[in-house]
Structure 1
Amino acid sequence: MSNGNVLILGAGIGGLATAIALSGAGYGTTVIEIQPSMHSSVYGVGIIQAPNQLRALDAIGCARQCVEQGYPAKFMNRVYDRDGNLVRTVPGPKIPGHDFPAMNGITRPRLHAILTEKARSAGVVIEYDKTITDIKQFDDRVEVGLTDGSTRTVDLLVGADGVRSVVRNHVYDVPPEPRYTGKSVLRINIPRLPEMDAIVRQEGRNANGDRVGVGMVPLAEDLGYLFVNIVHDRSVRPSTDELREMLKRELAGFGGPSGVVRDRYVDTGEEIVLRPEEWVLGPAPWHKGRVVLIGDAVHAVTPNTAQGAAQAVEDGIVLAECLSGGRPVEQALTAYTGRRYERCKLVVDYGYKARRWEFHPTPDFDPQEMGIRMRQSLVEPI
């Protein structure tokens, strides 16, 4: 017997994970996605799965497949200097009682396929090529208008629609706006280099003197991706050829793994993705009536945390747990924010402060040390 009907806007990682968790808790769950198919709804090239994300995925029965289809690493990072000399190896945090790898890299299409298959097997309905046009709240229900002309009446609406969330406008009288860090990320798929048995990191400065952070993430035995953090005017939209020249220019002067990628793989046919780094943190509570937010819709984090998807999956687990306690909806949703707010704020704060430090370094903030502390704190239960 269903505990109620839930509509989730957004078939991304957080939306699908939440759907699986809610279905397991006895809710009839439907996911609405604006993109026309699963494939077109996948953004980016790959994803870093820290142990806390794997723990959350394990709660909905998806962690094992992710590790089997990804690249489980024994270490979190291998740090090289600009010339390519190994400086240090950084172990990842360990979660007591679990044998998760320090980091698992996986392609986003593989992860979405795992989550989509699990959701459908759990009875979740996924509808593509439509989105929300109208939301009306009542004491006992939410009426949602869709672009296909239909109206859905549900017990709960979940906004899992990302940093540009439209559902956020129905939770806050004055919705918080995403903030740009001043940096964007270039990403490209590459063959996995021998050095890439963990996340490879290098740092240097470009011809303008700007700090350039480079990373390489293993995704499979033969596949990985490179990312480069750059200072960028987000109003400028480079062409494909311009992106390749930009990437080579930012990697100029690097030796070691970054130099190999620059010289061998930038001019291949692989697509280069450019994304701005944005962050947002909505004030508590993260709901209004029977409309609630999860993931980037309410706490978008910068990619230097490697925690965006992890925190969204954790949201879904906690939301399902809070709704399963037999409490009234208002109390359950208040409890959800109460369990999530400080944990997510910790991650958001670290991400944008580390980026701010890169523009204006101060001796009272060590981004590497603070990053280790942040990751270690996430070992604590959700």
Structure 2
Amino acid sequence: MPGLVALVDCNNFYASCERLFQPELNGKPVVVLSNNDGCVIARSNESKALGIKMGDAYHLRKREFADWGVQVFSSNYTLYGDISARVMRVLGEFTPDLEVYSIDEAFLGLAGFGDPEGHGRRLRATVASQTGIPVCVGIAPTKTLAKVANRTAKKDLARGGVCLLDTEEAQTDALSKLALDDIWGIGGRLAPKLVALGITTPLELRAADPVMIRQRFNVVLQRTVLELKGIACLDLERDSPDSKTICSARSFGRAVERFEELAEALTTYVSRSAEKLRRQGLAAAAISVLVSTNRHKPEEPQFHATRHVRLTIATADSARLIRAALWGLRQIYRPGFRYKKTGILLLDLVPAGAVQGSLFLRPDDRRRVELMLAIDAINRRYGRDRVRFAGTGLERGWKLKAEFHSPRYTTRWDELLRV
């Protein structure tokens, strides 16, 4: 059926990844915590049934989790990223038009495919058999309606994980069961403004005048209205656009006071961001450095600062970026504070092959480029930080807390599953 779009969404993805290698967790409540084991960012259905909410602070509910037998895990992004790549490779076998929307979601173009619902069921079964990850499939004429269909597939168990909304009657029925802020792009701030105009349900939003919506709000919301009417306004993004910025910022496992420890953390974050930069074939012409104390401890002295550093010429060389970041850190560091977070933001990104030199400034030397790529290749093959800058430190006492970290089963030889 021409014009249909499918949204495939992995069910409780992080929790499903943890269960994949520990099947004894099936049927038990599972939660995954954010960086530093701070708050809940993923829940199994059993955890949801217990009333555990996204964003619940672990340290406040630790005793309850223990009483309920909740299985707690620190976030294992290396594992999640690898499993995600496997899922996306399988999805690519079911369509020539694939948009990877997030780590656990993808849009598929189904133009020209007959029996779209049967195609979705075969896709779902294949993903489950080849990766072990359960998914739901929503199919509709537009991306916004595909989101609605996917949500319906998750909520209505009788559909078997696949929902096709190819008629106005089916779309109306699905929309009538949703709240206004369930619609893709309608957040907590926008919904009250729509309610003030008398638009209180998804059906009323679909019936709204697109011209009025654009005049009162913006073209983005106008497209949402048109998409709800079945008029496709959002094309599939088959090629990932180049990043505009690359950010790496983390909270510490404990408060940090010494400049040397801040510098170690910052050097580590710059190294990882530079690797991402090279992977995308980009170079950065500016970098912002930030430091921050713990805003959740108002009894302690507070300090937050950012320093923007403009490079003389865009680069993807880790050493040059580290040197610029440390210069920025020296400008904003103040002794006497207990720092909780530092990070960097790479800005003004351009294609590395298009960097223009001048009489006195030259792009990255070819030998340095080859050196950086060789380091990246070694770290990909043998594990992160096998080759790294000495400035990243040895002890790293500032590292994130990850007391419940599971093995990286698929990317580390020494952490392979043992049977």
Q: Same fold (TM over 0.5)?
A: no
Query: Higher relative CO (CA 8 A, sep ≥ 6), structure 1 or 2?
Result: 1
* Bigger Rg, which one: 2
